Amino acid sequence: MLSAGANPGVGQLLAAQLAAFLALLLAVAAVHKWVRWDHTRGVVHEFAGVPRAAAAWGVAGAGIAELLAAALLIVPAQRFHGALLAALIFGAYLALMLRAILQGRRDVDCGCSFGSTHRPLGAFDLGRNALLAAGASFAAASAAHGAAPVNASQLLAACALLALYGALDQVMALKPMRSGAVL
């Protein structure tokens, strides 16, 4: 007979899948920051309000935090800490978005898109980050009771989820056609 530790439950398997997706998303976000270094420094200054002289440190700090969270999410023994860090990261981004919206700065670039398109901050961005923070919180709560390892099929599924995430981001950036508009 298998012990409970040898046979992870559905919740643990779901949390492992979610952890794999969040780890991949955070790793790609960190790389994106470094690939678009100058642009991201401007975003950190304009969106987050970090002084221009310290913006590079802000980008580096955010990227390192994202990479650390990604690495911790993959390791079952460290998943709880990685998921907490991920929830903190997504929660901080959500708070910055709310602050910008409440200040009437919906048009500020939050740097949240992997593409080159920019759209005003709105319900989609808030909902996305709230859902990511909630998902990371679920992964943390699940990992507190033991975490299942991430397997190869879950990593492939995480890649597919990331592709869908990116596609949804690009679809949400499209401007709807107005009635009577001519192509």
Q: How far apart are CA 134 and CA 156, in angstroms?
A: 22
On whether residue 106 sits in a domain, the answer given is yes
What residue numbers bound the domain in which 50 lies?
10-173
Write the single-letter amino acid at 39.
Answer: H
Q: Tens digit of pLDDT for each residue in 100-156? A: 999 999 888 888 877 666 778 889 899 999 999 999 999 999 988 888 888 888 889
Q: How far apart are CA 122 and CA 106, in angstroms?
A: 7
Q: How far apart are CA 125 and CA 127, in angstroms?
A: 5
DSSP H helices, 36-122, are: 37-46, 55-74, 79-102
CB hemisphere CA count around 37 (13 angstroms): 5
Are the beta carbons of 43 and 97 closer than 8 angstroms? no
Write the single-letter amino acid at 74.
Answer: I
Q: How many CB atoms lie within 10 A of CB 47?
A: 21
Averaged pLDDT score across all residues of the chain: 87
Q: Tens digit of pLDDT for each residue in 15-28? A: 889 999 999 999 99
On whether residue 181 sits in a domain, the answer given is no
Q: What is the pTM of this model?
A: 0.86
On whether residue 178 sits in a domain, the answer given is no
The closest alpha carbon to 15, from 182, 98, 136, 127, belongs to: 136
On whether residue 28 sits in a domain, the answer given is yes
* Percent over 90 (pLDDT), the chain: 52
On whether residue 55 sits in a domain, the answer given is yes
On whether residue 180 sits in a domain, the answer given is no
Are the beta carbons of 83 and 139 closer than 8 angstroms? yes
Report the domain count for the chain. Answer: 1
Residue for token digits 């994106």?
32
Q: How far apart are CA 80 and CA 142, in angstroms?
A: 8
